[in-house]
Amino acid sequence: MKAQFWSFDGVFGMTIFTIAMLLLASVWINVNRQLSLAYGFGVGSMQQELISIQNRITTQGAPANWNSQVVVTNPSTWSGVSIGLGNGNAGVLSTPKILYLSALASYNYSDYQATKYMLGTGHDYYIIIKSPGLYNMTIGRNPLANNATAIQVANVHGVLDSGQPVTMSIEVWTNTSFGVG
């Protein structure tokens, strides 16, 4: 009986089974490692873009009067523009710039894409500006309405040029997978 177990067929079958299991384990570990790296890089990229937008949006932008130079219907006026909502005083936001960015981002889809570039992000964005007793304004694309798979959020406190305190919630989001491409 013992001789039958160690016959050529038994050894050959165990060898094939062992090789298949090692191959499966190797593929599993490799795919798991790639997914972890891709996911971590994707979220890291979103976090970096969020920090960039957060820093950029509280400045005046470049040029400082970008809102009077950018024409919504003329994409050639968009080049070299960096959007900032500040009015030049620390923590003070310009109401005309906020309104202009809102108009620019909602004019049509290609204009929204241009605002992404001017804000320095390749991901989608959504900005919620809340002012107690005054208004709530949204700029960009709502991540919940667009099946977002990942969202990074930062809150910025400031004051409108009218003296009204505001809180901006800046969201950078995507509805694509961070999987291996």
pLDDT in tens, the chain (181 residues): 455 556 777 778 888 989 988 888 888 877 765 555 455 556 777 888 888 888 888 888 888 888 888 776 777 777 778 888 888 787 788 888 888 888 888 766 667 888 888 888 888 999 999 988 767 888 888 998 888 888 889 998 888 888 888 899 999 988 876 544 4
Could you give the number of structural domains in the chain?
1
Residue 26 domain-assigned? Answer: no
Residue 132 domain-assigned? Answer: yes
- The helix (run of H) or strand (run of E) holding residue 169 is strand 165-174
Residue 35 domain-assigned? Answer: no
**Gap between the Cα atoms of 16 and 49, Å rounded:** 49
* pTM confidence score: 0.69
Residue 179 domain-assigned? Answer: no
CA angle 98, 143, 45 (to 5 degrees): 85
- The helix (run of H) or strand (run of E) holding residue 97 is helix 95-107
Residue 17 domain-assigned? Answer: no
Residue 12 domain-assigned? Answer: no
Residue 64 domain-assigned? Answer: yes
Domain extent, residue 142, equals 45-174
> For residues 137 and 160, is the Cβ–Cβ distance under 8 A?
no
3-state SS assignment for residue 132: coil
Q: Where are the beta strands (DSSP E) in 85-160?
A: 92-93, 124-131, 135-140, 150-160
> For residues 149 and 179, is the Cβ–Cβ distance under 8 A?
no
Residue 130 domain-assigned? Answer: yes
